[in-house]
Amino acid sequence: MKVKIKEVADLVGGTLTGDENVFLENISKIEEALPGDLTFLYLPAYEKYFPTTKASAILVKTGFPKVRGDIAYIEVPSPNTALLKVINHFFKPDFNLQGVDQTAFIDPSASIGENVSIGKNVVISSGCKIGDNAKIYHNCVLLDNVEIGNDCLIFPNVSIREKCRIGNRVIIHSGTVIGSDGFGYNPDKDGVYQKVPQIGIVIIEDDVELGANVCIDRASIGTTLIKHGTKIDNLVQVAHNVVIGENTAISAQSGISGSTKVGKNCIFAGQVGVAGHLEITDRVIIAAQSGVSKSLTKSATYFGSPAKEHRHALKLEAHIRNLPEQSVKIKELENQLKELQEKFNKLSERGNF
């Protein structure tokens, strides 16, 4: 679509400098933008691309030096926030799935809400309930008694197993599995692992988004729970009986072991590993590739394996990096001490002490 730049400036409450008759057709990164594109600049690291960008217009912070006359400026306090508003208003993706495809299987006992769209080869089993305006894309499978709320968006090849419940406005990306069996086994007297039946469910509350290839295991007994507003990146494993609090963000390749409880407003960076049966309080940040081996009861930033408070962990890391030099210094001091001891012994033998 084409959008007049004046409409963009009015939407974000920005100050427009330049040609008001410019039309914008796309949004691009500053280093990749072409004529007709809107771009943005909010990090100093990207200012190096400004002299050569081909964008027709740019969102910048208030007071940005307007040294180029061939580009239109929209000055706002926060360019990245303004960009999000522009995308949602003018350029939001249109997920064009309408109606129910003839290849879909819907059990007669399933309840389907109004304006639901269902793609090719979708399987909706007995007792399922689908809310209004849901979109379920190709090759998804919903086993018995699954419940899905209103305005959900479920992309291709998602599997949701029996009795799991999905709230309103939930987005689930391709390849995700909800309600797979938890990793529960007991070895018998011969050391042979016997499977423990996993009879619980998964509940995902409103406004949660799950990335591609996320695995959320059903509880062994009770519920695995993802609370309101949580965002989970690709390739994350959530084990049985885990509880994740409201508005927590978990980055790719992280894993949370069974029965751990994570508080609200936490942030897990990439490849964070959390042991089982722990408690992580609210507003905890865990840096990338950290390993959490004990409960974290203080709202703080943690780093390392095992995870420690960030500042302490950085001090330890600095000491470790200095070990080779320190080792050489210690060896020199040992040699000096040995020489002094030998001199002292000789003087003692002569009776000088």
Cα separation, 352 vs 349, whole angstroms: 8
Q: Would you tell me how many other CB atoms lie within 10 Å of the CB of residue 62? A: 11
Per-residue pLDDT of the chain (353 residues; tens, 9 = 90+): 789 999 999 999 999 999 988 999 999 999 999 999 999 999 999 999 999 999 999 999 999 999 999 999 999 999 999 999 999 999 888 778 889 999 999 999 999 999 999 999 999 999 999 999 999 999 999 999 999 999 999 999 999 999 999 999 999 999 999 999 999 999 999 999 999 999 999 999 999 999 999 999 999 999 999 999 999 999 999 999 999 999 999 999 999 999 999 999 999 999 999 999 999 999 999 999 999 999 999 999 999 999 999 888 788 888 888 888 888 888 888 888 988 888 888 777 776 65
What burial letters (b/e) apply to 224-240, b meaning 16+ CB within 10 Å?
bbbbebbbbbbbbbbbb
Three-state secondary structure of 103-131: CCEECCCCEECCCCEECCCCEECCCCEEC
Selecting among 240, 277, 310, 312, the annotated active-site residue is: 240
The answer to whether 240 is a known catalytic residue is yes
